[in-house]
């Protein structure tokens, strides 16, 4: 693997095969200090790159058994390059590095390419699998940091947020079994299509009437629904899948726990039987409040004063949340649109024309270096306060 080979050449301690294809490298600095984890994700997406670039992806991959076009439509190649850059800079200045640095190159942040998340026996993947394999404890990580490129900000700009930085992500799969009948005589059957309409409307009341919205927000979206073969037939089955997103753990618990009963009882009222599976996928990504505020000077150094606090979390989700559940974490967003680009015209993450201005890689490398130095200062200040 390219990452592992590069790390071996740097002379750092390298561990491979973690969470499948994950790589971890360890650098022992020359000064006393804490152990910091720096994380980058490596995976791509099943998207065909359409940008007219000489280096546009032509790669193929296997996604749930089928060959598909793949590209780094979310910038994970940039994340990996940034962390590899930091892993190159820090060993060259080992005598100035406080404590220990753990470089975490994580696979499968976008999800596993061959795992049905609704299977009760589905194995873990990505950050969750890394955490379950003990990456935090094994390497003694005390705090963890991550960076994500975004097209809604210009090159070199950093956005940070105290508390919820990204939503949780959970999924649901529903099968409604009714009784097939002639379309002219619906009373002789049990219509799962009508039931599905009531189920979808009912799921929205979980947000508007059952979730404590003083804690935050929540979204229940049905993204896929299938049923029926002809306009004059009451079908016997409807299937649907969707997603649940929220920026508050309490709201997440309400939506994921209440959805199955609501769906089953709504369907039952129309003589339709519901099978409901909820998959808990990613928690809310929470930035530790004290850590975030303490690291602002480091972010300003990394971005030449272009770090800004935001008060709105990103709607998407990130499995970095599994790391920051174990130890204090900080996850920040790095602008990747060229400085002369109209942001309203910049292709979003996951778009086939998503583009990362390579100049922002420098800010990303600097961010990782400043995380190490800034956290050491923060940890020393806390230690001094305890002894006073």
Give the DSSP letter of residue 288.
-
Other CB atoms within 10 Å distance of the CB of residue 95 = 8
Q: What is the pLDDT of residue 76?
A: 98
What does each C-alpha distance from 271 to 64, 264, 321 come to in angstroms? 35, 10, 41
Q: What is the pLDDT of residue 1?
A: 76
Dmax (CA) for the chain in angstroms is: 83
Q: Which residues contact 95 (CB under 8 A, 6 or more apart)?
A: 29, 30, 31
Q: What would the two tokens of residue 21 be?
A: 């294809």
**What are the start-end ranges of the E strands in the chain?**
13-18, 22-28, 31-41, 60-63, 66-69, 98-106, 143-154, 158-160, 163-177, 181-182, 218-227, 233-234, 237-246, 273-282, 285-287, 307-309, 314-317, 329-337
| Per-block mean pLDDT, blocks of 10 residues, the chain (388 long) | 94 97 98 98 97 93 96 98 98 97 98 93 97 98 98 97 98 98 98 98 97 98 98 98 98 98 98 98 98 98 98 96 98 97 96 97 98 98 86
Distance CA 109, CA 126 (A): 5
Cβ contact 84:2 at 8 Å: no
Give the DSSP letter of residue 94.
G
Q: What is the pLDDT of residue 387?
A: 82
């Amino acid at each position: 693997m390219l990452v592992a080979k590069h790390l071996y050449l740097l002379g750092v301690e390298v561990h491979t095969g973690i969470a499948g294809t994950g790589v971890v490298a360890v650098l022992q600095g020359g000064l006393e200090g804490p152990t910091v984890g720096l994380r980058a994700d490596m995976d791509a997406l099943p998207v065909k790159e359409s940008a007219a670039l000489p280096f546009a992806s032509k790669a193929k991959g296997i996604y749930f058994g089928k060959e598909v076009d793949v590209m780094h439509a979310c910038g994970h190649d940039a994340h990996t390059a940034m962390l590899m850059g930091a892993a190159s800079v820090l060993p060259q200045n080992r005598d100035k590095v406080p404590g220990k640095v753990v470089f975490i190159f994580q696979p499968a942040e976008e999800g596993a390419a061959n795992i049905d998340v609704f299977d009760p026996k589905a194995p873990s993947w990505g950050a969750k699998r890394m955490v379950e394999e003990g990456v935090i404890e094994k390497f003694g990580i005390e705090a963890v940091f991550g960076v994500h490129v975004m097209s809604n900000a210009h090159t070199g700009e950093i956005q940070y947020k105290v508390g919820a930085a990204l939503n949780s992500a959970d999924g649901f799969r529903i099968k409604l079994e009714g009784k097939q009948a002639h379309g002219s005589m619906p009373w002789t059957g049990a219509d799962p299509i009508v039931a599905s309409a009531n189920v979808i409307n009912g799921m929205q009341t979980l947000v508007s009437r059952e979730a404590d919205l003083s804690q935050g927000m929540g979204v229940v979206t049905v993204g896929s629904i299938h049923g029926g073969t002809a306009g004059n037939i009451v079908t016997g089955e409807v299937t649907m899948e969707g997603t649940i997103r929220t920026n508050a753990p309490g709201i997440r618990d309400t939506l994921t726990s209440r959805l199955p009963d609501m769906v089953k009882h709504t369907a039952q009222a129309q003589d339709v039987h519901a099978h409901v599976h909820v998959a808990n996928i990613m928690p809310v990504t929470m930035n530790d409040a004290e850590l975030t505020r303490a690291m602002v000077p480091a972010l300003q150094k990394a971005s030449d004063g272009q770090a800004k606090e935001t008060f709105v979390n990103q709607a998407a989700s990130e499995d970095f949340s599994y790391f920051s559940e174990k130890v204090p974490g900080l996850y920040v967003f790095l602008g990747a649109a060229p400085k002369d680009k109209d942001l309203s015209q910049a292709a979003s993450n996951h778009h086939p024309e998503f583009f990362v201005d390579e100049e922002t890689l420098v800010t990303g490398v600097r961010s990782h270096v400043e995380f190490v130095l800034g956290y050491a200062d923060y940890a020393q200040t806390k230690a001094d306060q305890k002894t006073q």
